[in-house]
């Protein structure tokens, strides 16, 4: 028995190098066929590589498309150029992928292609990935084939369609073959393409709608009308999403201002600079933790809150407490503080904008369909704003600080007579509102560059949100922020960014004429007075 096992092992060991050698010989023959001056012969060689099911077929085709597939003059080996430095080229063996070091450009012959071959290669790479890739790669390959299918690819695509396990990939392959059939004048292909939001499908249907065949033209026109209706719905959904994400930024920027304005009646023009400090804290955390943007962002949330909260306490103790009851002087003083903070940042850090790296898990988009994708960074900011809002509601409803803040907001004198230390409440409230402004800066750092003027872009909008929603009312701030964000997003495409803001401002002025205390006015004797 042991002798039989030993013989089998010896046979396997002997067969394995022979199999590898046979595969290399086949690969060499396929690459040899590409080394010809005839572009027609090269096209046939490309098809042979597709049908060969070689493991490195996609690598060869991509290298040929990128003009990186070359041949050594001395021994005829095929190599792939990886990097060029002066006259030297770093190469790897095309058959095995083994690194071969650097060779001179003079020792290489490049395999040339024309535009027709480039088109064929793009489709060929997709075909190879359909056979060799995982489901995601196959789906991407099938998408790329829509509108690119040639006559010689119909049969292999049809065969692949029968054996494809993924329904999503099969749907894309059906669309790719249907576009080809539609280009050949097949009216029945329109039924397969109806409802598709793919841009190449729409192009094919638009061409078919101009066809001399009335059957094809009528079917394509009807399909285009249905698709256009679906596109309008998706555009509306995209506008709503961007409006909500913009509104979430306004809520974050304004909610801290709503707290301090409602409790203390202070018009804090330095609120924008507190937002800016939160954004710079995020940038500073990434400098302390290079290469770890995700961890830096998470740590920046409490750090940004603390930095802006401490700055807010300093502003309240150093300026505002001496100007209570004098709103105009408070406005001018805090405007001066905002200029000082801006100049301090310019002097200590830089007047230039700073870029904050977005973590990988916040990059990219959530693809809903071919016409609608939701950017992840905005989605995270929207979720973050709602979490902060919920946290503030819990603080205001279920903590002693929240109870005292509501008491001081409704009637400061009565709250004092009940033993509430209004000065302490003012300090804690200003710290809380300033800290939330810092959280807004952390969120904004993921949407825009960080600079000394960052806060100035949001201070006016923040006041509009507070006034529109109702001074000191958190729910009013949420509704007003989201509403203004959506309204701005709807108006901007046809009115422009500046005119849209003017329209919103006029609307708020007219609204305040009708409801001076906003959507959700304060309750209490002080508010009534």
| 205 inside domain | no
**Domain co-membership, 297 together with 429:** yes
**Domain co-membership, 108 together with 239:** no
**Domain co-membership, 313 together with 444:** yes
What's the chain's length in residues?
A: 529
Q: Tell me, what's the pLDDT at 280?
A: 94
| 49 inside domain | yes
| The pair of three-digit structure tokens given for residue 395, joined into one six-digit string | 């603080």
Opening angle at CA 325, ends 319 and 328, nearest 5: 70
Q: Tell me, what's the pLDDT at 414?
A: 77
Q: Tell me, what's the pLDDT at 132?
A: 66
**Domain co-membership, 110 together with 237:** no
Query: Which of 116, 143, 173 is where one domain is finished?
Result: 116
Distance CA 182, CA 96 (A): 42
Distance CA 85, CA 102 (A): 9
| The pair of three-digit structure tokens given for residue 282, joined into one six-digit string | 């995020």
Q: Tell me, what's the pLDDT at 304?
A: 93
Q: Tell me, what's the pLDDT at 25?
A: 67
**Domain co-membership, 351 together with 488:** yes
Q: Tell me, what's the pLDDT at 3?
A: 52
Is 92 strand, coil or helix?
strand
Q: Tell me, what's the pLDDT at 523?
A: 58
Query: Which of 69, 94, 116 is where one domain is finished?
Result: 116
| 91 inside domain | yes
Q: What range does the domain containing 106 cover? A: 2-116
Strand 88-93 versus strand 108-110 pairing type: unpaired
Distance CA 434, CA 245 (A): 22
CB–CB of 518/472 below 8 Å?
A: no
**Domain co-membership, 110 together with 253:** no
Q: Tell me, what's the pLDDT at 77?
A: 85
Query: Which of 95, 116, 137 is where one domain is finished?
Result: 116
| 361 inside domain | no
**Domain co-membership, 306 together with 454:** yes
| 179 inside domain | no
**Domain co-membership, 469 together with 341:** yes
| 228 inside domain | no
Distance CA 404, CA 384 (A): 26
Q: Tell me, what's the pLDDT at 326?
A: 79
CB–CB of 319/337 below 8 Å?
A: yes
When divided into structural domains, the chain yields a total of: 2
pLDDT digits (tens, 9 = 90+) for 108-123: 888 888 888 887 787 7
Local mean pLDDT, 10-residue blocks, the chain (529 residues): 45 41 67 84 82 77 85 84 79 85 83 82 74 77 83 79 85 89 86 86 89 87 90 90 90 85 76 91 91 90 93 88 79 89 89 87 86 89 92 87 76 75 81 90 89 85 84 82 88 79 83 77 51
| 168 inside domain | no
Whole-angstrom CA distances from 45 to 41, 92, 97, 345, 361 are 6, 22, 21, 63, 42
**Domain co-membership, 341 together with 470:** yes
Cα end-to-end span (Å), the chain:
104
Distance CA 60, CA 269 (A): 62
| 309 inside domain | yes
Residue 475: CATH number of its domain: 1.10.3470
Is 519 strand, coil or helix?
coil
């Amino acid at each position: 028995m042991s002798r039989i096992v030993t013989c089998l092992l010896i046979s396997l060991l002997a067969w394995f190098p022979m199999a590898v050698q046979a595969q290399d010989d086949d690969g060499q023959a396929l690459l040899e066929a590409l080394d010809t001056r005839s572009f027609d012969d090269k096209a046939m060689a490309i098809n042979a590589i597709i049908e060969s099911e070689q493991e490195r077929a996609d690598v060869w085709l991509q290298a040929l498309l990128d003009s990186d597939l070359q041949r050594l003059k001395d021994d005829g080996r095929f190599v792939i150029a990886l990097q060029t430095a002066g006259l030297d080229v770093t190469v790897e063996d095309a058959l095995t992928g083994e690194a071969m070091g650097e060779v001179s450009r003079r020792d290489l012959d490049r395999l040339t292609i024309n535009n027709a071959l480039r088109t064929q290669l793009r489709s060929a790479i997709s075909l190879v990935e359909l056979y060799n890739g995982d489901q995601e790669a196959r789906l991407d390959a099938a998408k790329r084939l829509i509108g690119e299918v040639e006559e010689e690819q119909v049969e292999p695509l049809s065969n692949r369609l029968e054996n494809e396990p993924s329904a999503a990939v099969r749907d894309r392959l059906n669309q790719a073959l249907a576009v080809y059939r539609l280009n050949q004048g097949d009216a029945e292909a329109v039924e397969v393409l109806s409802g598709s939001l793919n841009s190449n499908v729409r192009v094919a249907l638009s061409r078919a709608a101009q066809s001399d065949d009335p059957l094809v033209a009528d079917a394509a026109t009807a399909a285009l009308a249905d698709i256009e209706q679906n596109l309008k719905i998706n555009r509306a959904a995209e506008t709503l999403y961007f409006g909500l994400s913009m509104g979430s930024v306004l809520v974050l920027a304004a909610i801290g201002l709503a707290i301090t304005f409602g409790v203390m009646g202070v018009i804090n023009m330095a609120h924008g600079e507190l937002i800016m400090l939160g954004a710079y804290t995020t940038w500073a955390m990434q400098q302390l933790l290079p290469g770890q943007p995700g961890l830096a962002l998470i740590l920046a949330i409490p750090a940004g809150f603390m930095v802006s909260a401490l700055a807010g306490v300093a502003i309240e103790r150093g300026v505002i407490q001496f100007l209570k009851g004098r709103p105009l002087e408070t406005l001018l003083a805090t405007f001066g503080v905002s200029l000082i903070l801006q100049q301090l940042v310019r002097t200590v850090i830089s007047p230039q904008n700073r870029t904050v790296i977005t973590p990988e898990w916040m990059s990219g988009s959530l693809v809903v369909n071919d016409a609608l994708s939701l950017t992840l960074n905005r989605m995270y900011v929207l979720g973050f704003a709602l979490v902060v809002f919920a946290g503030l509601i819990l603080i205001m409803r279920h903590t002693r600080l929240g109870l005292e803040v509501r008491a001081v907001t409704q009637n400061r004198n009565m709250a004092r007579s009940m033993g509430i230390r209004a000065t302490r409440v003012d300090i804690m409230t200003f710290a809380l509102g300033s800290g939330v402004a810092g959280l807004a800066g952390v969120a904004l750092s993921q949407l825009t560059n960080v600079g000394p003027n960052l806060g100035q872009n949001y201070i006016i909008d923040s006041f509009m949100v507070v006034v529109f929603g109702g001074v000191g009312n958190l729910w009013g701030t949420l509704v007003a922020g989201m509403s203004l964000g959506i309204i701005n997003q709807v108006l901007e495409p046809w009115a422009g960014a500046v005119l849209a803001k003017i329209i919103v401002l006029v609307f708020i002025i007219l609204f305040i004429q009708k409801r001076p205390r906003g959507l959700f006015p304060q309750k209490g004797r002080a508010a009534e007075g």
